[in-house]
């Protein structure tokens, strides 16, 4: 139990630092940045204390906001996906997901991609809508969320494959 907590604390710090110092300077084509810190929310254990989980997600978003000077947009997006995560889990992995302790590395690859994509798309949509906050720029919001999502999903999948401990 203790080692799991340590893993998550380290993951939290490493993801925030990578996000702030490396990924936010990519600016591919001028505006596309991946936001892989949501891996923390995606990979958080399924059996959890929901209150703590939502609070941690808020803290994660707020820390990223601190680094990126973005007010509270990351915090808002993170809290939303953390709150809605059980719904996505249920729709992707079936209704019985919480009875079996799913390990993400042992799930079907296609299911995993769907799960990642739903969470990422919703996160980015909320993120950019709040950041731009202008209905006349809806095209810009959609463009930014779509392209950044593709980038984020690709990176997330690569990272989970690279760092998965399971060897077939």
Partner 1 sequence: MQQIINFLIKNKTFLLFLLLFSISVFLTFQSHSYHKSKFINSANFLTGGIYKSANNIKQYFGLKEENEILLEENNRLKSILFNVKTEELKQLYSNKKTSINYKLITAQVYKNSYSATNNYLTINKGIKDSVKQDLGVITSKGIVGIIDNTSKKYARVMSILNTNSRINSQLKKSDHFGTLKWNAESPQIVQLVDVPKLAPVAVGDTIITGGRSTIFPKGIGIGKVVSFQLDETENYYIIDVKLFNDMTNIGHVYIIENLDAEEISTLYNQDE
**Does residue 163 belong to the site contacting partner 1 (CB under 8 A)?**
no
Answer positive or negative: Cα dihedral of 15, 18, 24, 28: negative
* Residue 107 beta carbon to partner 1: minimum distance, rounded to whole angstroms: 25
**Does residue 103 belong to the site contacting partner 1 (CB under 8 A)?**
no
Beta bridge partners of 28: 32
- Taking the least distance from each CB to partner 1, the nearer of 106 and 136 is 136
- Taking the least distance from each CB to partner 1, the nearer of 113 and 122 is 122
Write out the residues near partner 1 by the rule CB under 8 A. 17, 20-21, 24, 27, 30-33, 50-51, 54-55, 58, 61-62, 65-73, 75-76, 79-80, 82-83, 130-133, 137, 140
């Amino acid at each position: 139990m203790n080692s799991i907590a340590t893993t998550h604390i380290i993951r939290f710090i490493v993801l925030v630092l990578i996000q702030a110092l490396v990924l936010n300077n990519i600016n591919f084509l001028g505006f596309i940045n991946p936001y892989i810190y949501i891996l923390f929310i995606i990979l958080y254990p399924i059996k959890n204390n929901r209150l703590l989980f939502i609070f941690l997600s808020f803290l994660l978003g707020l820390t990223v906001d601190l680094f990126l000077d973005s007010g509270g947009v990351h915090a808002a997006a993170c809290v939303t996906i953390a709150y809605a995560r059980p719904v996505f889990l249920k729709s992707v992995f079936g209704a019985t997901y919480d009875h079996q302790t799913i390990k993400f590395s042992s799930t079907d690859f296609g299911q995993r991609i769907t799960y990642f994509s739903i969470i990422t798309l919703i996160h980015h949509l909320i993120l950019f809508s709040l950041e731009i906050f202008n209905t006349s720029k809806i095209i810009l919001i959609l463009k930014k969320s779509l392209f950044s999502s593709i980038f984020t999903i690709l990176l997330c999948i690569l990272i989970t494959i690279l760092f998965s401990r399971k060897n077939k």
